[in-house]
Amino acid sequence: MLQTRPVSVASLARRHPLVVALAVGTTALVFSLALPVGIDEAIWTTVGRWLGEGRTPYVDAIDNKTPAVFALAWMVELAPAGFAAARAVVVGALACWLTLAASSMAVRAGVLGRGPLLVGGLVGALTAMLGMFLLTTELMTVALMAGAVLAVLDARPRLGVVLALGAVLFDPRAIFLFPGYGLLARKALPRPDAQRITVGLIALVGVGVLAVALHPDLRYGLLELNLGSRQASSWELLPFAVAALASLLPLVVGMLGLRATGMAVLGRGTWAMPGWTMVAGGLLVAALSLQPFHHYWILAVPWIALTVGPLPDPPAQPVRWRLWAAAVLLASMPLVVVATAWRQSLSSWHHDYAEAVAIARSATDGLIMQFDQLPFVAWYAPERTPLRSPWLAYLWWQTSRTDDHIEDIASSLPRVSAIIEDGGLEAAEPAVSSSALRVWRLLRSEVGAFGCRLTVGDLLLHLRLDECPEDLRWQA
């Protein structure tokens, strides 16, 4: 009778990288299921829906992202299972792919044994967690660029250029990764193929820059709105520094843990220089933002898999305290991330907006306007909002089209029958930010004609009615 030994999960994972990738992807999927729709996701889905109805991007469907992002978010919303479930599947699939891709990069960097699996698990877990288990442009971008990197390492330059183009279509900031990608092509490919990739990348950047510079709508949507949002930022360094530290510390601890297994984390392997150049490009993008968003740092994470290598004199035994420290930190991070993402998604505001919109729909037939920067009026009642963007701040930040948008808001006010706001219209004028002041004055002058006022959670709902219906809990 044949005797078999039980197969441990660790030995199975060492032989089958897909097991580790599926574990990371499934974990990301489960945590993503626990989260409501994020603010960015609501904006992108609404704009995507508007584009599907025939609106023009950056004209009457405005956001500072690319049409590829809007299209993906809209397709996720159309999934039969609903947005949250479909979003979780996409996030899980991207985390699974990035785990496999990083493992493959580490193998090509000369790492042996279980090292590639550890590198892949670290990259897949961190990218999902930094994205708060939500859809982010950075997550989609690095997934495509990881494919472009593997295409070059597999001597498939045409595929590499196509995937790099896809990354730029999701996030133009991917061009900051191109210098390192070009170095990788020069080291990995024959000279003619490397030259083709270099020419292709230069052509992509050149065409993109010319398109943005010459096309007024692209210039407005992709350049002016992004610069405008940075000007409107508080530019406070402390929140930015805290977010940077919280984003990079797990990566540093994880890499130190990997070093304990006999892996050089500052290796001088074949692909180290291209890898560090791509890491530097991702760090530069996040640093230039000066904003406290964890997901910006995703652009720097996957390329650490190119920088690792075998130690010349590996330790006889792993330094186990480092492994345990890295494991405890990385295992606790998902819970912290979910709690943070839940708070940042402002789930209570979702409920308040849904209730306020439902009351406004039942009581009036006109348009519904909001005075804050949350997109949920457009999310819950896209056909009832007079605005061109789900994110009101895009219409009041100073750009070449600000005056046109303010005029549109003023001309639409007579058709507005409900205003949802967060108390800002009751604030004193000195307390209102200078960028929002013009819209505030318009709505403040009009809100007196709204005879009914209701408190809905943390929101105020003003209705253009002479008398408040008796069957609702109105507050005069």
Per residue in 378-420, pLDDT (tens digit) is 989 988 999 999 999 899 888 999 999 999 999 999 999 999 9
What's the predicted TM-score (pTM) here? 0.87
| Residue 101 CA, distance from chain mean position | 20
Q: What is the mean pLDDT of the chain?
A: 84
**Region 150-172 average pLDDT:** 93
**What does the pLDDT read at residue 12?**
41
Q: Report pLDDT for 4.
A: 38
* pLDDT surpasses 90 at 229: no
- Whole-number Å distance between alpha carbons of 51 and 42: 14
CA distance 161 to 166: 9
Q: How confident is the model at residue 476 (pLDDT cuts 50, 70, 90)?
A: very low
Share of the chain above pLDDT 70, in %: 83
Pair 301, 276: CB distance under 8 Å: no
> Could you tell me the pLDDT band of residue 8, with boundaries at 50, 70 and 90?
very low
What is the separation, in whole angstroms, between the first and last Cα of the chain?
85
Cα separation, 138 vs 142, whole angstroms: 6
pLDDT over 90 (residue 196): no
- Return the pLDDT at 214: 92
Structure tokens at 398: 């100073």
Query: In the sheet that 367-371 helps form, which strands lie side by side, from edge to edge?
Result: 367-371, 416-421, 459-463, 452-456
In this prediction, residue 44 has a pLDDT band, given cuts at 50, 70 and 90, of very high
Residue bearing the bigger pLDDT, 119 or 144: 144
Give the strand pairing for 309-310 and 263-264: antiparallel
Range in 122-136, 159-173, 203-217, 329-343 the model is least confident about: 329-343
Best CA proximity match to 76, nearest among 48, 36, 57: 48
Cα–Cα distance list, 160 to 126, 298, 431 (Å): 24, 20, 51
| Residue from 134, 133, 106, 109 nearest 122 by CA | 106
The pLDDT assigned to 37 comes to: 86
Report, as an integer, the average pLDDT of 90-105: 95
- Between CA 460 and CA 318 the distance in angstroms is 59
Tens digit of each residue's pLDDT (9 = 90 or more) over 330-381: 566 655 555 555 555 556 778 889 999 999 998 888 999 999 888 989 989 9
> How far is 77 from 357, CA to CA, in rounded Å?
20
Backbone angles phi, psi at 442, to 5 degrees: -60, -50
The whole-angstrom separation of Cα 133 and Cα 65 is: 19
| Cα 294 from Cα 129, distance rounded (Å) | 9
Which of 300-335 are b and which e, b meaning 16 or more Cβ less than 10 Å from the residue's Cβ?
A: bbbbbbbbbbbeeebeeeeeeebbebbeeebeebbe
